[in-house]
Amino acid sequence: MIIAATGILLVGIVLLDIFLTVLDANGLSMISSRIYRGFWWVWRHFSLLLPPIARHQMLALGAPLMIPVMIFIWLIGIVVGFTLIYYGGLLPGNLSHVVSGEHSRPELPDAFRLSVVSISTIGFVEISPSNMPYSLTVAFEAILGNLILTLVLTYFLSVHGAVLSYNVFVAYLRARIPRSGEPIDALKRHFDKGEARELEPWLDRLDSGLSALHEGLRRYPILYYFRPLHIERGLPDTLSALRRVVTGLNWGLPGDHPARRSANLGALEATLEDLIEDLQDRYVPIHRRTVIAPMSARAFATACASRRALRDPWLDEFLAECRAVQIATGVEDTDDVEQLYDRYLSWLPITLRLHDFKRAVRDDLGYSERVRPGRRSVWAVLASGPRERPQSLQSTSSESAEQ
C-alpha cells in the first residue's frame, strides 16, 4: 500500500503542476519553472563547448526545446505514478493475460507496460486487470492521457502566441529606431521645431506592447528564456531601448516642456518599473548593485563648466543623453545649472537600477559574451568534426555594453 500511495502522490503532484502551468492565470508552478531554470543552466554550460557563433544559435534553441522536455517529464511522471499504483495495489490473480486467460502475480515490468498502453490508449495488448477498481483506474489513466494531450497543445499554442506578440512589439520598436541604433533618435519623427507631434499615440503603443510583454512573461515563464537570433531584439536590449526613451523624455527635456507631463509617458515608466520588479522576483535577482554617491551641487556645476574637471562616466552619460534628446527633438535646454542638477539627481537612481538589471539579465541569458560575426550555421560547425575545437569566449564589460 505504501508503493501505491507513493504513486497516487506522484500523480497528484504532476497533475497539480500541469494545472498551475497551463490553466493558472498567474503562471505559478511547482515543478516546471524549476525545470526551465535547470534546463537553461545545463544548456548554457553545454553550449560553451561550441564556437561563439554556433553557441548563439544553440542558445536560441533553448526555449523551444523546453516545451517537449517539460511534456516528456509530465508524461513520465504520470506513467511512473500509475505504475506504482498498479504494482503496489494489484494482488496475485488481479492481472490476467488476454491470450492465455491465465492469472498471474503482477511484476514491475507488467505494471509499467500496463501504464504505458493505458495512457497511450493503444490497447492492453496481452495483459489487463481482472478486478473492477483497477479496470476503472486504467480507464481513468486513458482519459487522463487524452486530457493532458489537449492541455499540452493549448499550452504550446498559447506560448507561441506570446512569442509572436513579443516579436511584433520588438519589430515595431526597432522599426522606429534609425540606423544609428540610438533609441533617442526615434524621437525625431515625433517632434517638429521643439513641439511634440503624435507623441502620445506612440507612447501609448509602447506602453500597450510592454504591458503585453509583461503579462506574457508573468503568465509563461518560458518566454523569459526566449532568445531571438538577432541579439538587438533580445530582452536586455529591448528594455535598454525603452529605458533610453523614458529617461530621455523625462530628464533630457527642460522641466517646463509639455512632453514631460505626458500621461502616457508616466504610464510607460510605471509599466517598465513594474516589469523589472516582477522579473527580479521571479527570474533574475540582482546580486551586484552599482552604488554611486551623486555629485555635489558645487562639483556638478564645476564639471558642467569645465569639460575636463571632476568628470565621471555617469555624469558623462547624463549630459550625453541630454544633448542627444535636444538634437533629436530640437528643444533648447533653458534650465539653469541648479535645475539641471535636480534632473541629474532624479535621473541617476533609475538609471543605475536599470543598468544593474540589464547586466543581470545579460549574464543570466548568456548575452555577456561577444559573438563574432560569421556565416557558418551550427550544422556546418558540427559537420566539421573534431577539427573545430572549442574556442575561448571574449567577455565584454557591462559598462561598454551600456554605452
The H-assigned helical ranges of 283-312 are: 297-305
- Cα distances from 43 to residues 32, 65, 66, 68, 242, in angstroms, run 16, 10, 10, 14, 29
Residue whose C-alpha cell reads 530621455 in the numeric block = 248
Q: CB count, 10 Å around CB of 204?
A: 16
CA distance 322 to 139: 69
Rg (CA), the chain: 28
Question: DSSP 3-state assignment of 210?
Answer: helix
- The pLDDT profile of the chain, 403 residues, written as one tens digit per residue, is 788 889 899 999 999 998 888 888 777 777 888 899 899 989 988 888 888 778 888 888 999 999 899 989 999 999 999 888 888 766 565 555 544 445 555 678 878 888 888 888 765 555 666 667 777 888 888 888 888 888 888 888 989 999 999 999 999 888 888 776 788 888 888 888 778 888 899 999 999 999 999 999 888 888 999 988 888 888 888 988 999 899 988 888 888 888 888 889 999 999 999 998 888 888 887 777 888 888 888 888 887 777 555 567 888 888 888 888 888 888 888 888 888 999 999 899 889 888 888 888 888 888 875 544 444 444 444 444 443 333 333 333 334 334 4
211 touches 273 (CB < 8 A): no
Q: What angle do CA 394, 397, 403 make, to 5 degrees?
A: 120
Distance of alpha carbon 324 from alpha carbon 122, whole angstroms:
66
Total residues found in the chain within this entry: 403
